[in-house]
Every structure is written in C-alpha cells, then in structure tokens.
C-alpha cells in the first residue's frame, strides 16, 4: 500500500521524537561547564588551549549539541563570535580557532588558538547548548611577551680612572610596564648593594608587533678598588621571574704607570747586557 502525505508526516514526527527524546528526559539544570580558572596567562606566539569542560554526566550526542566561543576585547563592550559548532558543522572567524570533534564527544569543548597574538587578549565566553539547556562560563586570556635581555659588555676591561658605560637592553616585551634595577658585588662586602646613581633609562619604544623595548645604562668611573666587582642588571616584568645579567669590571693600572714600569725593565735589561759583554 502506498504511503500518503499523512503517513509521511507521521513518520517524520516519530523520527524527530526519537531524536529529541534524550533531551526531553534530561534532568533540568544538569548541564554545566567548567573552566580552568578565571584568568589564563599565555605567551606571545604560543599555541594555547582555553579549557571548557562539560560536567554533564549523561552521554552527549554531538549531532544535536552546539558550541559557541565569544571574545570581548579590553575596552570594548561588543563580543565577537570566534567559533561556532552546530550539527557537525563548524565556522571560525579567527584563523586556526577550533574545537576538535573527537574531544567534544567526551565533553571537552576547549578552544584551541594557535600562534597567539596580542589582540587575542580579552574575555572569552564558552557557551554550550544541549537542547533544551544552555550553560556558559568566562575566562580572561592575558597574552604576554617576556623581554629578551642582554648586558654589554659582559667583561669590562678599563684603565684606572677611565669611564665606562654598562648597557642593559630589554626587547620585545608586553605589557609595557617594566622595571630595571642595578646591583653591585665587591670583593670586600659579602652581599650586594643597590645602585641608585648615574643610571639613565631610555623612553619606551613600540615595535611593529605591538611589543615594547627599552635600555638602561649605568655609568662607572673605575678605580683599582673596584677591580673584580660584579655589576648586575635585574629586569622585572610580570611575564617571568626576575631576569639577572652580570658584568665583571677589570681595572688595569694607568698607561703612564705601565710606561714607567716598562722603562725600568728596559734600563735593567740594558745593564745586564753590558755586564755580559
């Protein structure tokens, strides 16, 4: 017997009922998502994963569920939709942003972000939809860049009373706040002392990628007592633990003194030669 229009609609109704039956039987308020914390700090250019785990104990059917990730950047009241998954289809507005389907089946709706940029900083919202319920949580992602530092020269060889400048460079860091301090170790003292004079710090310069650079300089006037002293540049930035770089000062006697000593050696050598002749 051929099926009429009424029979076809009846079978469609039965099919949708069977498909949505798990949703109807779901306990109210059972859908929840859990993030790793309120703030997540990641490094510039790194590959990051923003954790979002579905704590629902029931078996998930990825065919009827949806995942959406939103980003609200600092200073903006508007959210931008970065990623959306619904019915085995996904769409991303941020290159490389994705939620792997194989992990979603186990309740892991974490967002993968490759090659972090500074503009990825902001508040992310993970929204999970399992009809008829919806759950969401937020996490703030802070993208930082640790300074690349150097101290020049590592060994400073100078004559007595000669002036020399030690240069400590901090490149490509973010955010912009940074502190650079100087310390000195001498042979006589057991510990170090902080240096507060003859220090100059250049204004921050902004790089093309949005990071910052600066330079701190310490001017010294050498003396024989300072020979063997170690000068340390300490860079403080919230992207890392304090960074320390050392420079050792070696002070030679003045050139005039060396000339006198050399002249004495020449006179003695000439006298010895005359005795031998």
The reply to whether omega before 62 is within 30° of 0 (cis) is no
Do 121 and 172 fall into the same domain?
A: no
What does the pLDDT look like over 20-36, one tens digit per residue? Answer: 444 444 555 678 899 98
133 with 185, same domain: the answer is no
Q: Are residues 91 and 169 in the same domain?
A: no
pLDDT of residue 254: 61
Same domain membership, residue 220 and residue 171: yes
Same domain, 47 and 153: no
Supply the DSSP string of 103-114, one letter for each residue: HHTTTB-PEEE-
φ/ψ of 119, rounded to 5, equals -75, -5
Same domain (yes/no): 120, 222? no
The whole-model pTM stands at: 0.73
Residue 235 covered by a domain = yes
Q: Which of 251, 256, 245, 234 is nearest to 163 (CA)?
A: 251
- Do 78 and 157 lie in a common domain? no
Contact indicator for 158, 65 with CB cutoff of 8 Å: no
**Could you report the per-residue pLDDT of 37-66, keeping only the tens digit for each?**
899 999 999 999 999 999 865 667 888 889
Burial of 99 (0-12, 13-18, 19+ CB in 10 A): buried
Same domain, 137 and 185: no
* pLDDT, tens only, 178-211: 999 999 998 877 789 999 999 999 999 999 999 9
135: pLDDT strictly greater than 70: yes
Q: What is the pLDDT of residues 153-172, one digit of tens each?
A: 999 899 888 999 999 999 99
pLDDT beyond 60 at 19: no
CA dist., res. 40 & res. 155, Å (int):
40
The reported pLDDT for the residue numbered 64 is: 87
Say if 250 falls within a structural domain: yes
Question: Do 159 and 251 fall into the same domain?
Answer: yes
Within this chain, do residues 106 and 177 fall inside the same structural domain, yes or no?
A: no
Looking up residue 68, the CATH number of its domain turns out to be 2.60.40.10
> Are residue 99 and residue 154 in the same domain, yes or no?
no
Residue 131 CA to residue 152 CA, distance in Å, equals 63
75: containing domain: 30-144
What pLDDT, in 10s, does the model give residues 223-244? 888 889 999 999 999 999 999 9
Q: Is residue 9 part of a domain?
A: no
Q: How many domains does the chain have?
A: 2
Shared domain check, 187 and 105: no
């Amino acid at each position: 017997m051929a099926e009429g229009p009424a029979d076809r609609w009846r079978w469609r109704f039965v099919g949708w009922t069977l498909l949505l039956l798990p949703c109807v039987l779901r306990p109210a308020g059972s859908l929840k998502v859990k993030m790793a914390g309120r703030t997540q700090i990641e490094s510039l250019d790194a590959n990051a994963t923003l954790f979002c785990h579905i704590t629902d104990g029931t078996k998930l059917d990825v065919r009827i569920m949806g995942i959406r990730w939103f980003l609200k950047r600092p200073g903006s009241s508007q959210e931008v939709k970065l990623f959306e998954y619904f019915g085995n289809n996904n769409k991303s507005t941020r290159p490389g942003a994705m939620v792997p389907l194989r992990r979603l089946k186990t309740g892991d709706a974490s967002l993968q972000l490759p090659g972090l940029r500074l503009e990825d900083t902001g508040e992310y919202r993970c929204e999970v939809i399992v009809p008829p319920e919806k759950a969401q949580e937020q996490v703030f992602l802070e993208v930082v860049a640790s300074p690349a530092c150097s101290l020049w020269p590592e060994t400073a060889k100078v004559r007595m009373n000669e002036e020399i400048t030690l240069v400590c460079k901090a490149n490509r860091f973010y955010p912009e706040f940074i502190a650079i301090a100087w310390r000195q170790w001498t042979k006589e003292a057991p510990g170090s002392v902080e240096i507060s004079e003859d220090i100059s710090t250049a204004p921050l310069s902004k790089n093309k990628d949005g990071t910052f650079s600066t330079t701190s300089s310490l001017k010294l006037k050498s003396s024989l007592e300072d020979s063997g002293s170690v000068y340390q540049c300490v860079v403080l930035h919230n992207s890392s633990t304090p960074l320390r770089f050392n420079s050792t000062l070696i002070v030679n006697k003045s050139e005039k003194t060396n000339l006198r000593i050399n002249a004495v050696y020449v006179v003695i050598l000439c006298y010895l030669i005359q005795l031998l002749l």
